[in-house]
Amino acid sequence: MKFKIKNHIVFEDDHLIVVNKPANLLVIPDRAGVNTNLKVLLETYIKQDIFIVHRLDKATSGLVVFAKNAVAHQKLNQQFQQRTVIKKYYALVNGRLKEDKGDIELPLTIKSNASKTVVDLKGGKPSHTSYEVIDTFSRYTLLDITLHTGRMHQIRVHFAGIGHPLAIDSLYGENEAIYLSSIKRNYRLGKGAEERPLMNSLTLHSYFLAFEHPETRATLTNKIDMPKNFRVLLNKLGDV
């Protein structure tokens, strides 16, 4: 993946580094040992080892924090474990929700092969997602989501579980991409032209991350905009 990693650094000091991860980039190497991942790219750029605090799915874009030393790592990990970190996401889901705001508390279990999460009403771990509607379109809804627990694929599974999977999510939904031809009536493509998708990454973006700085103990608030392709898609949806 070719991009200038320095342009994706949101905050950095001697204790930690916050990065805006592009979609379809691993946070850490996968089981196959693929080296194209955010951790290695950052370590190469800042020329030091860093510690993993939390992760985003490969397909999810947005804020990720790494620690630069063991003490910061321990203190940040403790905040994530105690659920004092504020984590917010933008998500575009299928359909229109009945309520403008609400909570989803379906218990979740990771399947034995660790590749997928499922709703498990009897044996699942408590999981809590809250949401508020930002905007509605003919076939989709844009949500502001607060993640209270951090189960694997939690947002994706929770909204699929209530019948509103992410607009683009081939694992828990149906679509791998959204094309203008699928949302615009009487769309015509030029002869011999090949239509490109408006967006072909997960319609989920971690835009807000707030926590206590491990050294100063001041609240460190990080907020970023949506990726360009996400904004383009929303503009097109608003036009049709």
Q: In terms of DSSP bridges, do strands 61-67 and 204-212 run parallel, antiparallel, or are they unpaired? A: parallel
pLDDT at residue 157, rounded to an integer: 98
pLDDT at residue 182, rounded to an integer: 86
pLDDT at residue 232, rounded to an integer: 94
Which residue's structure tokens are 């408006």?
198
Catalytic residues: 57
Amino acid at 193: A
Splitting the chain (240 residues) into consecutive groups of 10 residues, what average pLDDT does each group show? Answer: 83 97 90 78 95 94 98 98 97 96 97 87 96 96 97 97 97 92 79 84 97 98 96 89
Dihedral over Cα of 70, 155, 90, 205: its sign: positive
pLDDT at residue 2, rounded to an integer: 61
pLDDT at residue 114, rounded to an integer: 72
∠ CA(127), CA(131), CA(135), 5° rounding? 155
| pTM of the entire predicted model | 0.93
pLDDT at residue 49, rounded to an integer: 96
Burial of 198 (0-12, 13-18, 19+ CB in 10 A): buried
CATH number belonging to domain 5-239: 3.30.2350.10
Q: How far apart are CA 198 and CA 116, in angstroms?
A: 27
Q: How far apart are CA 59 and CA 24, in angstroms?
A: 4
Q: How many CB atoms lie within 10 A of CB 25?
A: 19
pLDDT at residue 187, rounded to an integer: 76
Contacts of 144 (CB under 8 A, 6+ apart): 88, 89, 90, 131, 132, 133, 134
Token couple for 132:
């508020």
